[in-house]
Every structure is written in structure tokens, then in C-alpha cells.
Amino acid sequence: MKRTTKALSALTAAALMLLQGLPLPTAQAASHREAPLISNDPAADITDFYMFKSWADSSKVVFIMNVIPGQEPSSGPNYFNFADEVAYQINVDTNADGKAEDVVYEFRFTTEIRGVTAALELPVANAAVPPITALDGTGSEGLGVRQGYTVTEIRGANRTNLGSGPLFAVPSNMGPATMPDYEALAAKGIYGLSNGGRVFAGQRDETFYIDLGAVFDTINLRAPAPLLGATEDGDDTKNFGGIDHFSGFNVNSIAIEVPISSLTNNPNAVLGAYASTNRNRQTLRRGAPLKPEPNDRGDLLRGVGKMVQVQRLANPLVNEVIIGTTQKDVWNATEPEDEANFLGFYQNPRLATVLNLLFATSFPDTGRDDLTNVLLKYGFQTQDGTCSKANPCSELLRLNLAVAPTLPASQKRLTVLAGDSAGWPNGRRPNDDVTDVALRVVAGLLVLPPGSVPNLGDGVNFNIGAPGAGTSDGAGYGSTLGNDLDVTANGIAAEFPFLPTAHSGRNRRHIDCGNADGSPCTEP
């Protein structure tokens, strides 16, 4: 990797030294409908996976898995629920061997029809008779469809239920008549765990931001994108031409915060992790991917019979823009430590070829050992781009615990490129602009001379229209009566579960071009 480090700017090189060998990304953004089969299974479709040291308590690490992409908040009467048949898992590698099986957090849901809805056989899931102000007991009578869940910590053959009592998922935000104080209702969905951590499951704002339609219209980005000037590139509070196509949409989130000491005794360790969803093979429809066969280790971890991994996600957008279409479903069913099966896609990135064809550039699109090293390896600076049994390639999101977290007001969307070493690729935070960072990396930032790669970007620089943006009433959300979730003006949630509150079905708003607070509309 000598040529890689020489090609980095001084700022980037300094940040990478802090990362001590963490990978840089080669994908663009979040994982939404990225493979043919999973696009037909939204309850198992992982949109984003986040892993970071908690800026509220740096002795803990946070994992967040989002599923069910593109939720239009008003889509009733049957709103958005986790699937009872899916095992949702967060898989952690604590010893840097590339196998994320040392600690697994498994979430299983059970749905019930109850309360006024069941008693009166109402045609809607929830009813404001009375309004829903609680998840259980008094105030929950109108909550007709309720999901309870369990959190199980798996270490080898040992399975431990971390819940200290009943856990209930926070339902979709239908509107103020049904849920007069959704913020307070959501806070009741934060539960303490027996390992000293806490958990939340329920609906949240879709925090990821991207000009999604433009990106997948063959990178048909809007002015001034795809080239951002220094002023636009350094402003994390405005959008420049791009439209945040996820504004006003929700996702279903599973967030768990655990003590670092419960994962490793080394405060300077580098953790690896990925999220996965798994279904029983007998319930899969004919034609679903059943190869490679799940091994005994996988079945034991899941503890629910013969299970098939139907999706996995670590670094964002690997499957969308790196893996070839014919291999996407097989990739989803493959363990990350078997990534050598897909090595050619990393060595010869098709996205770089597309950029060259569209913009008459000459970004390197063959022989890219740098992408293999930074995405699939621990200690990437000493790697040679090959995969072997002794030195396997494993596609994991990696987090260097030695790097202190950055407080929300000081976070930089361009992370390491802007001197903020606590963001992607050092784990990933909800506000990290992986679109812009990764476009530059896949264009050759690590292998070309400094200044050769321009400020590529989609013109979307922050999570526009986040509910509660600008709220700051002090610490205590979820535990102190009357405290709202603090959210910065550019949409970063400062307190657990670290994602803004879900948009209301009645009052949701998608911010488009031409709106007073949106970007100007541009010609194609």
C-alpha cells in the first residue's frame, strides 16, 4: 500500500493514521432494494447499518439496523411492522479474524391483535379510542397491533436473553389524533438490558440522505453536482442542487447500545460487524437463494432450525454498485469471510468504468488492489490485495475503539476527508455522507496523485426536514419527563436511539426542489 499512502493528501493521511488500518469505502450510499429477491421482501431488507462509539457515553458502542425502505408515513391502514418470521441479527467480530461470530445480537418479534381493535373487530390497526399514550397498560388500549420482541446475546452455543422484562416495539406514527405525543410514546420504547446496555425497536426518520433518483438515473446528478466547489463541499447545512429523496420518509430501526467491556477487554481494539436477516428455508418461496448452504455454525447461532441468510449489510452499497447483478442474491446469502468468491468485482470496479463513460474521465477501473485492501482487510496498509485461508478477505464494517467519538455539533459529513476520524470508514454514523466520500474513493483517491480526483458529490449535504431539528433541551431523553430528543439543525440526533423521531402519517412532508427550503429546480 505504499503507493496508496503516498497518494493521500496530508489531511487524509493524518486521519488514516488515527484509524490504524481501517478500511475506506468503495460504495456510494445506503442499501435500498439492492438485489432482485430482497427487493420483494421489505421486512427483511436492510437499508442501513450503523456502528459507532456513543457520543453520549464513550464507554459504550452503538449498533443500528434499519429495515423496510422508503416508508411513506401516510400508507395506512396497515402500517409498517417487523416480520415475526425473520431473525434480525447484528454479528460482531471481536478478535479481528474476519469471522463475525464472536458475539451475535438476535432480535425476534411476535405480533398480536389486541385492545379495542380486537374487542370491536375494528377495520384499522390502531384506534384513537382512547388515544395511544403507552405501549403497555393504561394508555395502550388503542394499540390494536402490537409487537413484542426479545433480544438474545449469542456466544457460541450459549444464548442469553438480555431483556429484564417485556419489550415492545414503537408503532408507526399515524398522526396526532391517534398518538397525541409520539415523541413521548417513542421514549417509552427505550429499555434497559441486563448487560448494562439499552435497546429500541420501532419507526424512525429515514436519516440517510441522497439524491437517489438522480444517482440511479445513470448518475444524472444536478447542477452544481457532480463537481462541488470548496464552499459547497465544506457546508454541512445546505443542499446544493441535489434533492434529498428520502426527506419525509421513515424506516423501521433496531438500535442497541452495549458496554464496550461486554465485547472486549481491549479499549483500543478494532471491532468488525455486519447486520443480517434470516428466514427459515422451508418458508421461503420457490426460487429463493439457497446457496451457499448455511453451515452448522450458522444454524446454531440462529437457534431456529434450518435458517437461510437472505440479506447482509456492512459497508453501504457494496451490493448495489460493486457486485454484479447475477451474483447479488448469492452474495446476500454468503458469509462475509467468504468474500474471496467476489474478488473480481473489487479489483475491477464497474462504477469507475461508468464514471469514465459518462464524464470522459480516466479513473482506474482495473487492478484495484486498494479497494480489496481497504474494504476487506484489517490493517489494510500492510495488505497486498490477495485473499487466502491464512489471511481471508471479509466484508465487514470496522470500528477502531481507540478513536474518541465526535460530538454531534462538531461532526463532519465528509468524515476522514474533513479531519473527523470518528466517522466512516471508522464505523459509520447516521450523518456521514458516504455518497460523496465513496464517489471519490472509487474514482481513485487512494491511488492517484493528490488533486487528481475532484470534489465529486450529489449536492445533498444533510438530512433535510428531520423532525425536531434544532431541539436542545438538555440530556435526559427517554429517562427524564418532558425532555425531547435533541436534534441538531442538520438532523443529527444527539441522544439514544440516535435517529430522529418518525414523521407523522397525517402531517408528513417531502421537501422537493422549488420549495422555499429546498434546492432550486434544474433542467435535466
One DSSP character per residue, 475-489 reads: S-TTTSTTPPPPB-T
Q: What are the tens digits of pLDDT across the range 109-148?
A: 999 998 888 887 777 777 677 899 999 999 999 999 999 9
* Lookup result for grid cell 462538531: 410
CA pair distance 52, 258, nearest whole angstrom: 11
Per-residue pLDDT tens digits of the chain, which is 524 residues long: 223 232 333 223 323 333 333 332 223 334 566 656 777 789 999 999 999 999 999 999 999 999 999 999 999 888 999 999 999 999 999 999 999 999 999 999 999 998 888 887 777 777 677 899 999 999 999 999 999 999 999 999 999 999 989 999 999 999 999 999 999 999 999 999 999 999 999 999 999 999 998 888 888 888 777 888 999 999 999 999 899 999 999 999 999 999 999 999 999 999 999 999 999 876 654 444 444 343 333 443 333 457 899 999 999 878 887 888 889 889 999 999 999 999 999 999 998 999 999 889 999 999 999 888 888 988 766 678 888 888 889 999 999 999 999 999 999 999 999 999 999 989 999 999 998 998 999 999 989 999 999 999 999 999 999 999 999 998 889 888 889 999 999 999 999 999 999 999 999 999 988 888 888 887 65
Cell of 497: 436511539
Tell me if residue 253 falls in helix, strand or coil. Answer: strand
CB atoms within 10 A of CB 469: 18
For the chain, the structural domain boundaries read: 2-442
pLDDT digits (tens, 9 = 90+) for 231-283: 999 999 999 989 999 999 999 999 999 999 999 999 999 999 999 999 987 66
Average pLDDT, the chain: 86
| All residues at 6 or more sequence positions from 40 whose CB lies less than 8 Å from its CB, including other chains | none
Helix 434-442 to helix 350-359 angle (10° resolution) is 90
Virtual torsion, Cα 329, 354, 25, 372, nearest 10 deg? 80
Give me the pLDDT at residue 2, please.
29
Compute how many other C-beta atoms are within 10 angstroms of the C-beta atom of residue 95.
13
Residue 161 has what pLDDT?
Answer: 98
Q: What is the grid cell recorded at 95?
A: 478478535
Determine phi and psi for 30, rounding to 5 degrees.
Answer: -90, 170
Q: What is the rounded distance in angstroms from the CA atom of residue 377 to the CA atom of residue 392?
A: 8
From residue 24, alpha-carbon distances to 156, 348, 421, 430 in Å are: 30, 16, 12, 17
Half-sphere CA count of 148, side-chain side, radius 13 A? 9
Question: pTM for this one?
Answer: 0.89
